[in-house]
Copies of this chain bind each other. A is one copy, B any other.
Amino acid sequence: MNSEKLLHLFENREGEYVSGETISQELNVSRTAVWKHIRKLESLGFRFDASRKLGYKLVFKPDRLSEAELSDRLRTERFGRTLRLLDEVDSTQNVARKLAEDGAPEGTLVVAELQTQGKGRMGRSWISPYGKGIWMSMVLRPQVPIHFAPQLTLLTAVALCRSLMRVTGLTIGIKWPNDLQIEGKKISGILLESTAEDERLRYVIAGVGISANLEEDDYTPEVSDKATSLRIAAGKPFDRTQIIADFMLEWEQLFNVYQSGGFDAIIPLWEALSVSLHKPAVLLTPQGVIEGTPVGLDASGAIIVEKASGERAVVFSADMGEPST
């Protein structure tokens, strides 16, 4: 038995109590197994009323995405058109990478309700509770040399930021290179994993995590200083299907612009949304600390930093912070 069958049983008896005995008989499993699956569903956000006499009643179902509904609302040609909607995965990146190795077409999208080992940048973990966020990975097969892979990260941040602002009405900014923030708190992370042979990109797995409908108590106090969700910021939950469908369309359109016209068209869009430009910053690079004011992106996607001396540095990779005052 899996928890899915138990859930269907409750969904067919909406509002009713079902005795453990009945469940055990209908699904042909032990009472202990029934109890374990109830606990499992509770851990995913389902809530049950348990009565010694009457049995269990399903009283709350978390929001769940539907493959049919999402497919129906997509307005894209390729992005999301091959779709894997999964309940629980270790990491959508791993699932998408396997699909890519097996030849999945560009635009193949993996979305999961729950990640047990969500991946953030540099091996950091990522909070991804059931049914509240959008945890997804997409297969890209861009026809560009490996040099340009970082441009795709910036492009993805632009597409996500534009579509989220449109859907939510919130003001969202991009912290270099690719964190989305509302009033300094992170609401989304992007991680692109690239695989290349010599200078040719074989594929890119673009991982996007959106803290859509997470609530205050999903965050530890420590994390809530640095992270928030669309729901917390707006004071209301959002339709995750709409968020995904809108993002897919924006992303595909920008990707097409990029493939035909190059990165030049993306630079001003990124710069317009960035919250990292024109104010003093400290950049921790693998080669050492750079202090200065980021002034824009160069043609390759690196950030241009103007130092106090007037000298300009081009930074490919760094953690960016504010100078201590």
Contact = CB atoms under 8 A, between A and B. Distances in A.
Interface in A140-195: 143-147, 149-150, 153, 177-178, 191-195
Interface residues of A, number: 27
Nearest to A145: B316
Nearest to A197: B193
Contact of A198 (B146, B153, B195, B200): B153
A310 interface: no
A199 interface: yes
B196 A194 contact: yes
Interface string A193-225: 111111110000000000000000000000000
Q: Tell which of A145, A199, A300 has the most Cβ of chain B within 10 Å.
A: A199
Contacts of A286: 143-144
Contact of A191 (B144, B147, B197, B302): B197
Interface string A11-30: 00000000000000000000
A147 B144 CA distance: 12
Contacts of A153: 198-199
A150 B194 contact: no
Nearest to A316: B145
Contacts of A302: 147
A193 B196 contact: yes
Given A122-B200, A177-B199, A199-B177, A316 B147 contact: yes
Interface in A221-236: none
Contacts of A195: 193-195
Contacts of A200: 122, 317
Contact of A199 (B144, B196, B317): B317
A122 B196 CA distance: 10
A121 interface: yes
Contact of A317 (B145, B149, B191, B194): B145
A286 B143 CA distance: 7
Contacts of A300: 147
A197 to B, nearest CB: 5
Given A147-B150, A147-B300, A198 B316 contact: no
Closest 10 CB pairs between A and B? Answer: A145-B316, A150-B199, A194-B196, A199-B317, A145-B317, A147-B147, A153-B198, A146-B149, A143-B286, A193-B197
Interface of A: 121-122, 143-147, 149-150, 153, 177-178, 191-200, 286, 300, 302, 316-317
18 contacts: A121-B198, A122-B197, A122-B200, A143-B286, A144-B286, A145-B150, A146-B149, A147-B147, A147-B300, A147-B302, A147-B316, A149-B199, A153-B198, A177-B198, A177-B199, A192-B197, A193-B197, A194-B194
